[in-house]
Structure 1
Amino acid sequence: MRFFSVEEASRLVPLLTKTFGRVRPWVERVQKLAEVLDGPEAPREADALVPLREEREELLERIRVELGPLQEMGLEIKGADGLVDFHAHRGEEPVYLCWRYGEDAVAHWHDLKTGFSGRRPIDSPDDFEPTYLS
């Protein structure tokens, strides 16, 4: 497992911004399709649902393909609309560095249990040192 420093994580922000800039419209469309397919106003005829289901599956696959390389780099995608955690160490404590779409840098962290709601600003980037484990 790879652990990131703040600097290493922040160097990935341009890539993340570009990637999620492409993915976010697909995520929005999938959400709208889910509302139509699962909602009370869904077409009653099964044949009318087939193209909508096919479009949803195609978009989900595009999202998986686009986000896969980020996961292979050791990033945890917490939200396909642009929420990413990076494994890190704060002293001896394993934590996550946290980035959300629209942020210019990785400037927050949280412990492993609290998640996004427990985000705190990074006061000193030197508190988070990279460690490389296979």
Structure 2
Amino acid sequence: MNNRRFTLEEANAMLPRLREDLAKLQELVKQFEGLYQELKQAKAEYLLQPAGQEGGDPFFEMEGRLDFLRIEAELFIENFTRQGVLLKMIKPGLIDFPAVVDGEEVLICWKEGEERITHYHGWHDGFAGRKPFPDA
């Protein structure tokens, strides 16, 4: 576990790169979900075909692509962790940065669509407990 603590300035400086990584992760998730639905449909149609057809696994390629997309997404998620930030939600993006405000352990929080970080909340308060960051 990374014990890094961020200042508001450090967190805001990381945002452009984190936004890029989040967008790539969201695209991977979108591709995964689309391919998963295609695979489900293909398997349902396959089950309706007459029995006794020979051949290899007709879903091998799609399942392999799903595995690849899953592994790629996991690498992006691990990258957030390695940087010391907490990816709370992929869509919409929600990222927390551990910090100390007025001597209290808190999470500086950013939600996709916000231009910069301006709020924080306690570790157990969640997004609903957001407070304006002093001097933001």
TM over 0.5: yes
Identity of aligned residues (%): 27
Q: Secondary structure at the match of 1:3?
A: coil
CA shift in 2, pair 1:11/1:49, >3 Å: same
More strand by share: 1
Match of 1:12 among 11, 14, 20: 14
| Cα distance between partner residues in 2 of 1:102 and 1:65 | 24
Aligned to 1:85: 96
Gaps of 5+ in 2: 48-56
What amino acid maps onto 1:109 in structure 2? Y
CA shift in 2, pair 1:53/1:116, >3 Å: farther
Count of residues in correspondence between the two structures: 123
| Structure 1 vs Structure 2 CA RMSD | 2.4
Aligned to 1:120: 131
| Cα distance between partner residues in 1 of 2:125 and 2:39 | 33
CA shift in 2, pair 1:37/1:109, >3 Å: farther
Select the structure with the greater relative contact order (CA < 8 A; seq sep ≥ 6).
Answer: 1
CA shift in 2, pair 1:109/1:48, >3 Å: farther
CA shift in 2, pair 1:114/1:37, >3 Å: farther
| Contact 1:17–1:102 under 8 Å retained in 2 | no
Max radius of gyration: which structure?
2
Gaps of 5+ in 1: 126-134
| Cα distance between partner residues in 1 of 2:39 and 2:94 | 26
Deviation at 1:42, TM superposition (A): 6.7
Q: How does 1:1-134 map to 2 (within 5 A)?
A: 1-34=3-36, 43-44=43-44, 45=46, 47=57, 49-81=59-91, 82-125=93-136
